[in-house]
Chains A and B, each alone.
Chain A
Amino acid sequence: MKFINLIFKSLMRSKRRTFLILGTLVLSVFLITILQSLLATLDSVSNQSTEGNRFIVRHKSGLTQFLPISYGDYLRQQPEVIAVANSQWFGGYYQDPKNFFANFANDHTTMFTVFSDTVAGMTDAEIKEYQRDGTGCIVGQILADKFGWKVGDTIPLTGTIFPISPRLTIRGIFKARLASDENTLYFHYKLLEESVPFMKGKTGAFWVKTKTPEDLPRLSNRIDNHFANSPEETLSETENAFYLTFVKMLGNIGAIIHGVTIAVIIAITIVTIGTMSMAFKERTTEIAVLRAMGFSASRVLFLLMGEGLLLVTLGGALGIGLASLVAKILREVLGSALMFLQDFRLANETILICMGLTLAIGLISTIIPAIVATRKSIVEGLRAL
C-alpha cells in the first residue's frame, strides 16, 4: 500500500496522455460490454426457459399472413393438446405514438391456460371479470406502473395496423418473469375480429399447449402435414425458434459483434502497448535512479505493472459504468420499439468477462515494455540523460 502514491503519481505524470489513453480504454470497454450484452440479450431471447410444452402455429409464408380461425378446431381435436389460443399482434399505442408497447388480441378464454407462466399473479375474480367484459384488457405490472394505470381505468388504444381505436377497461394487472412480458397488454380477440372486417375468421397465429414437451415434434409435423398443399399452409415451431425469427431479421449479428469485439481488443492492446512503452522509455533515468536506491528489478517491474493495471482497471470500471447507464437509457428509450431491448441488461457474466479482458489487456500491454525498461542496466539508465 505504501507504493500506491508513487504508482498513482507516476501514472498522472502526463495528465493529457493518461486521460487520452483512459478515454480510449473507457470507450473500448464500453463498446465491448454493450455489444456483448446485446448478444447475450439476443441469445436469452432465443433461448429463454419457457414452458417446453408450448409451440406456435403460424402461416408458412411469414408473420404478416393470416390463418383461418377454423384451423383451431383441428388443433383442439389432437389428443396431445391441452389448450389453443389464437393471437394477433395489434400494434397500437396509448395517446401518443411515443407510448408504444406490445399489445395483442388474444383468446380470452384459453390464454390463462396457454400462458400460465407469462401471465400470472391475477386473482380468479380478476380473470373472470376480464373474461366477462368484451372491452376489457389486462396489463403487465411494469406497463401499469409506467403509465400509473390501475384496475378500472379506461385505456384508449390507437391502432397502427388495424383501422380501429378501441377503448379498453383494465380488468387485471399481471406479473411475468421477464420485463418484456410485463410490458404487454392483452384484449379480447373477438373485439378485433368483430371490429375489423378483414379479420373475420382470421388470426395471426395459434399458441398451442400440449400435455408434454415430447409431444411437440410429432404433433407439429402432423399439423404441418395436415395443412400442406392447402391455400394457407402452416409452419409449427417452438417458442424459441419463433423468437429466433425476429433475431434473425437483424442478420448474423453474433458474428458481427464478435468480429468488432476482437478488432477493438487488438486495437486497444496495440495502443496501450505503444503508450506504456513511450511512458516507460521517457523514465529510463528515473527507473535507474530507483534501482540505484535499492529498488530491485522485480520491485520496479511491480510498480510499472501497477501503473498499467491501475489505468486499465479504472478504464474498465468507467467503461462498464457507462455501458450500464447506456443500457438503462436504451431500455427506456428504445424498449418500446424493439421488444427484446426491454430485457437489455449487463449480465454479471458479461461484466466479469469484460473486466477480465480489460485486466488481460493491461497485463499484456504493460508487461512487455516494463520488462524492457527493467532489463536495462542501472549504469546504462543513468547515462540516458
Chain B
Amino acid sequence: MNQSFKAPIVHIHNLSKSYFRETLEIPVLQGLDLDIPSGGFYALMGPSGSGKTTLLNLIAGIDRPSGGVLEVCGSNLNQLDDDELASWRNQNVGFIFQNYNLIPVLNAFENVELPLLLTPLTRTQRKEKVEEALTLVNLMDRLENYPRQLSGGQEQRVAIARAIVGNPMLLVADEPTGALDAKNADEVLAMMQKLNEEFGKTILVVTHDPKAANFARHQVHLEKGVLDKTVEVNR
C-alpha cells in the first residue's frame, strides 16, 4: 500500500454550481467544503439530482463552478482558461465512463494511445506506455481488437488503460460498473482498488451501488446539493 495523506489533492471550499434554464437559476451544489487527500479512494453517493456527477465534473475540470474555491492537483481551476484547462486535464486526470466511450473506429491499442498523442512522446515511447497499460489490465492479447470485438468488461478495462496511460494523479469514474454484470463489475472495481493501493492513484467514483462504494475507503454522501456526511469504510 502506498498511502500518503499529506496534502489534499482536491481542496474545495464554499463551492457552488447553478444551471440556468432561460432566466431560471437552478442551484445544483451549494456551499460545499471537501478535501480529498492524495492517494484517497472516495465514492460519491447520493440520490439522483443530489449533484454528485456535477461535483465529479467540476473536480475533473470539465465543468466550471459558479463560485467558491476549487483546487485540484495543485492548480486553481478557476484561474485556468479553456486551453490551459484542457492541457491540465490531459496531465492530471484519467476518465472512466459508464458506457466506456471508446472510439469505435480505433482498436484497443489506438484507443489507449489517444491521450498520449497530446504529449511530446515519440512513437516508440507511446508504444511502450500503451503496452504497459494494457498489460496492467490483462489485455495485451487484445490490442488489435476493435471495441465491437470486445466484451463489456474488456471494453471497460481498455477504458481504464486509457485513463491511466498518461500516469495522471487523479482518476475519476462516473458509474463505472453501471453497464456491467456482477462478475465484470467486481473485476473492474478490484482493478481500481489495485490502482489505488499499489500505484497510489487518487480515485473518485460516482456510484449508486453500495457494493461498489464499499471498494472505496471513504464515502461522501450528497443530499440536494450539499454535503450530508463523509463516512470511512471499514474493510
Contacts and interface: CB of A to CB of B under 8 A. Distances in A.
Interface in A371-385: 377-379, 382, 385
Contacts of A202: none
Contact of A286 (B90, B101, B115, B118): B101
Interface stretch (A6-14, A21-29, A318-326): A6-14
B57 A9 contact: no
B110 interface: yes
A44 interface: no
A134 to B, nearest CB: 76
Interface string B54-86: 000100101100000000000000000011001
Contact of A378 (B62, B87, B104): B62
A385 B115 contact: no
A16 interface: no
A293 B95 CA distance: 7
Nearest to A283: B103
Name the interface size band of chain A: 20 to 34
A164 B62 CA distance: 89
Nearest to A10: B105
Contact of A2 (B89, B99, B106, B123): B123
B114 A385 contact: no
A294 B114 CA distance: 10
A378 B106 contact: no
Contacts of B184: none
B99 A385 contact: yes
B199 interface: no
B110 A5 contact: yes
A290 interface: yes
Contacts of B18: none
B190 interface: no
B57 A296 contact: no
Task: Tell me if B's interface is mostly helix, strand, loop or mixed.
Answer: helix
Contact of B115 (A10, A13, A293, A298): A293
A5 B126 CA distance: 15
Given A9-B105, A9-B106, A289-B97, A294 B91 contact: yes
A3 interface: yes
A292 B105 contact: no
A294 B110 contact: no
B117 interface: yes
A377 B63 contact: yes
Contact of A294 (B86, B99, B101, B105): B86
A13 B86 CA distance: 26
A35 interface: no
Given A378-B63, A382-B97, A294 B104 contact: no
B101 A285 contact: yes
Nearest to A294: B90
Q: Which of B60, B62, B89, B105 has the most CB of A within 10 A?
A: B105
Nearest to B57: A379
A293 B105 contact: no
A382 B63 CA distance: 11
A294 B87 contact: yes
Interface of A: 2-3, 5-6, 9-10, 12-13, 285-286, 289-299, 377-379, 382, 385
Interface of B: 57, 60, 62-63, 82-83, 86-91, 95, 97, 99, 101, 103-106, 110, 114-115, 117-118, 123, 162
25 contacts: A2-B117, A2-B123, A6-B106, A6-B110, A10-B103, A286-B103, A289-B95, A289-B103, A291-B62, A291-B86, A292-B62, A292-B89, A293-B89, A293-B90, A293-B114, A293-B115, A293-B162, A294-B115, A295-B90, A297-B82, A297-B83, A297-B86, A378-B63, A382-B62, A385-B99
